[in-house]
Structure 1
Amino acid sequence: MAAQSATHGIHGILAPAARLDRWLQVVLVVLVATGAVRYVDRHGLGVTGVLVLLGAAVLALAYATRTLLPGRSWWPTAWVAGMVAIWTALTLVAPSFAWCAVPVAFAVLRVLPFGWAAATTVLMTLVVAGAWWRVVEAPDPTLVAGPVGIALVTVIAYRTLERESRARQRLLDDLTEAQAELAEEQRRSGALAERTRLSRDIHDSVGQGLSSINLLLQAAEQSWTREPATARDHVRTAAATARDGLDEVRRVVRDLAPAELTGDSSGTALPAALRRAAAQAAPGLDVEVRVHGTPVPLRPEVAAALVSTARGALANVREHAGAARVAVTLTYHDDEVLLDIRDDGRGFQPGQPPSGPLRGRGLRGIRERAEQLGGRADVESAMGEGTTVSVRFPLEVAR
């Protein structure tokens, strides 16, 4: 609205008050008519009376002319200057028209900037004081000081209201813009988090399963002739891993935890799932699964995160550690559940993990998964001393 007013050359304090026009017109007509009737009643219809009536009619009709040239930037200023000039002449001839200063002053506030509006209003109050000074018996300084003071206070008050209104509007605009930006950022963050989750889940479940199947089938091919029984065991394990991988694909797509973890009411499904993950990790790798404490049912997403963490850590051991033995330890404390994967491999320098894609993505995925579920992941390693991956979650028993 302020921008629209600016295009028509209106910059005044009350420029946004579109409905004020009609009320100014009504009040002005009433005051002009009252002043004209009083003048004719007191002084009769002479030449001066006719001029006063003509001036009163022009003043009453002048307000309606402001909209005749809306495209001219100079027109509102010329219009309000004409209004003030006509009112001034009427007031100096007939002080009864001094009351018309109220709607005329509001018209000034509607159009002129603050500085010009304040100066014009003060001059109008001086005209009012001078007109009434002529009709009183003795000079009264309050006729000057009072109207001027009221005019200045009124203009300053409207100026303050205008600034507060604009400040509130700016705050509302900023708030609206910030809310829109926040919604967009949340949408982008949600999409990024979902992509990260899918990447992590696919890496630690489907990807590790396919890698295990490949290793099992290679081992079966090498022992097919010399140790057919061992080869058949490898093939059966690969088939079971493929079935589990199919379930994992369905889980990732549906964003659900494995069915056996979702419906676990005894707490025994998680240790069993960890043992399956250890058996599928790699042929020839000695993986021992230990459980300390009394198993309790966990939230499905926490249980699934622990299984995925074990798979990812075991995949890192298989690809990078050169380890002979791995210990997977699940510990139930009173206030948390802790999973440790400890290998006796070559280890690495803390802060400088191996640069292979599996190691980097796996460790990062383990940390991100734990943090998203309110847990914490730690990695301890030293050159030649193996690596320990620890993940802990607050113990919130599933209901």
Structure 2
Amino acid sequence: MRSGSITPVSSHVEDRDVWERLDPAWHAGFAGFAVVTAVLLVVSRPDHPVLAFVLLGGIVAAYAAAGGPALHRGGKLGAAYLAVAGPLTLALFTLAPVGAVMLFVLFPLIWRLLPTRAAVVATVVTMAALGAIGLFARGTDPADTPALLALFGGALVAAVLLGLWITTISSQSARRAALLEELDRTRAELAAANREAGALAERERLARDIHDTLAQGFTSLVLLVRAVSDELDRDPEAARRHLDLAGRTARDNLAETRALVRAMTPAPLAEAPLPAALRRIVDDVGGELGIAVSFALEGPDGPLPGGHDVALLRLTQEAIANVRKHAGATRLEVRLTRDGAAETLLVSDDGRGFDPGSPRSGFGLDNMRSRAAELGGTVTVDSAPGAGCRLEVRLPARSRQAA
């Protein structure tokens, strides 16, 4: 199963260009052609079999030492490999016609390891060398020279055009990957801007509520206390009335404070602690979707720091929303683990899954990542097409002070 980790920093999609994705195929292809060439050398029995195998061994050694590593690094290492492997391959072809099999490796590697202009030059030089070998080393009949030249000329044009076409596709793929990565960054920035705007609006709302309720109440309390101070000696009855009024004002302010706190607390947590709230949410989605669900708690059943309670509740709701909308699952499991080091939430399903490294169409995972990051936590997604999804949230205990 392919996994991807969503960290507090940009989760940019780790796109590799189309060439790099095929690196294992390059290695396997080279090994396959080398084995086929070795078998053909045994079967064809060239005039100098030992030398032929030495040349083939040199080609393989050059690939192991420089060609393979150059697939990642390129540059001078790739040029050095071709400078060695090219002459060795031509020499093998000169010695044994079956050595032409290794040309099927050489030409693609020319276009893989060299810039476009250098690849064109290397292709022309190699094809010219092959033409010279065909004309002179093989003892070609002079009458066949025009046909042979036409054959090699056509092969040269075809090789260059094919190389240019493949290079163009690779360049387009790299540009597309860069655009997708930029789009992913833009989405993350937009999600962050939306969160910031929402937080600012919430702060403004709280400021208005505090000004209209608590601040006015405290102002009244200050005035009442002053009045009581002035009236204690000369008018005890008025002082008692003002003290009663101050008490009512204080109780009203306390009620307003509790109302503000309740307004900031998600409804499920206002009615029950987190484990019970999660259990109810899981049971509800099971009844809604008609799927098998389970909830497990490992650790104490009690309240968490407010920030952790709210974050874990929202993360669970978002994960279950994804299951509801996209997964097509028949089973959903939620587990909350609490210990001295961290709170860990695990949400897994057996749905259709997805590729965590592919560009995403929404902000769900980005929002989850950011919410966990605010408490010093991480969100890890383990999924693959057709293999379900496993989402793990970990909030470290050290963030509780900050919460």
TM superposition score normalised by structure 2: 0.48
User: Which gives a bigger RCO, structure 1 or 2 (Cα 8 Å, sep 6+)?
Assistant: 2
